[in-house]
Structure 1
C-alpha cells in the first residue's frame, strides 16, 4: 500500500466541525470515500498519492511555498488528517497554476533524490518514467485545487502510512 496523500473537498462548515470534533471528521471521511456515490461530481478529490515526496522535493528546489505535511491544520493527533481552508486552497491553486511544470521538472535530480531517500525511492530504476509519473501527479493536484477553488471549497488532506 505505501505512504500517500489525498485531498477531498470540504465546506467551511465541515472543516470547522472537524476541528472541534476530530472523531466526527474521521468517520465523515470514511463515509465519503466508502459511499456508493464516490466519486461525487460536486466534491472534487485528487492526489498526489505516493508522488507527494517527489513533488515536495521539486517544490522545495523551485522555491514553491507548499509543504504537504506542515501546511493546513492538524485534525487528528496521529497526523493522518489535516484541514485546508478555502483561502489556502484558492491561494495554492493560483500559485501552482502560475508554476509551469517545466519550472519544477528543471529540478528533477534522480541521483540526489535517491541519495536523499525521497519516497518512494524509485528514482534510480527508471528515472525518465518517474519524471512523467511526477508530472501526472502534479497535473492531478493542480486540477483538484483549481476545481476546489472555483467552487469555494477547502479540503481535507489524508496522510496514509
Structure 2
C-alpha cells in the first residue's frame, strides 16, 4: 500500500452537494471510477499514484501554486476527499499551462529529495524522468477540467 492522489472532474452542483453531504460524496466519487453511466460523459480524471510528493517538491520551486494536501476544501474529516471549485481549477490550469516540464524538471535534485525524505523515497539520478508523464497528465487534467468549466474532487488514500 502507499499514499496516492487522484483527481476527477466535478460539476459545481456535485461539489455543492458534497460539501453538504460528505457521505454522499464519498460514495459518489468511489462509484465514478466504476460507473459506465457517468452523468458527465468524458469526465476528466488523473491518478498521480505515488508521484504526487515528487511533483510537489518540484512545483514548490516554480510559479505554480498547487499544494496537493492543503488546497481545495476538505469534504471528509479524515483528509481523504477534497473539493476544488471551478475557479480554483481554472487558476491552477493557467499556471500549469504556463509552466513547461523543462522548467519544473530543472528543480529535480535526487540528493536533496532523499535528504528531505520526499515520499516515496526512491530518488536517484535519473533526472526525475518518471515524473514527467505524471506532470503532463496533471496539466492535461486541469486543462480539460478548466475548459469544461469543471471543478474537481481530489482523493488522497494512505
Shared fold (TM-score, shorter chain, > 0.5): yes
Residue 66 of structure 2 corresponds to: 66
User: Which stretches of structure 1, 4 residues or more, deviate above 3 A after TM superposition?
Assistant: none
| Matches of 2:42 and 2:133, distance apart in 1 | 22
Residue 135 of structure 2 corresponds to: 138
| Matches of 1:6 and 1:75, distance apart in 2 | 15
Residue 10 of structure 1 corresponds to: 10
The correspondence for 1:149, drawn from 146, 151, 155, is 146
Deviates more, 1:130-139 or 1:3-12: 130-139
Structure 1: where are the runs of 5+ without partners? none
Q: May I ask how many residue pairs the two structures share in their alignment?
A: 157
Aligned to 2:79, what secondary structure does the other structure show? coil
Aligned to 2:66, what secondary structure does the other structure show? coil
Per-residue CA distance 1:74-118 (angstroms, 9 max, x = gap)? 000000000000011011001000011111111100001011110
Residue 21 of structure 2 corresponds to: 21
| Matches of 2:152 and 2:64, distance apart in 1 | 20
**TM-score, normalising length: structure 2:** 0.94
Q: Is the 8 A contact 2:64 2:92 kept in 1?
A: no
Aligned to 1:61, what secondary structure does the other structure show? coil
Residue 44 of structure 2 corresponds to: 44
Aligned to 2:60, what secondary structure does the other structure show? helix
Q: Does 1:89 align with 2:86?
A: no
Residue 102 of structure 1 corresponds to: 102
Structure 2: where are the runs of 5+ without partners? none
Residue 57 of structure 1 corresponds to: 57
| Matches of 1:12 and 1:92, distance apart in 2 | 17
Indicate the structure with greater helix content: 1
**TM-score, normalising length: structure 1:** 0.92
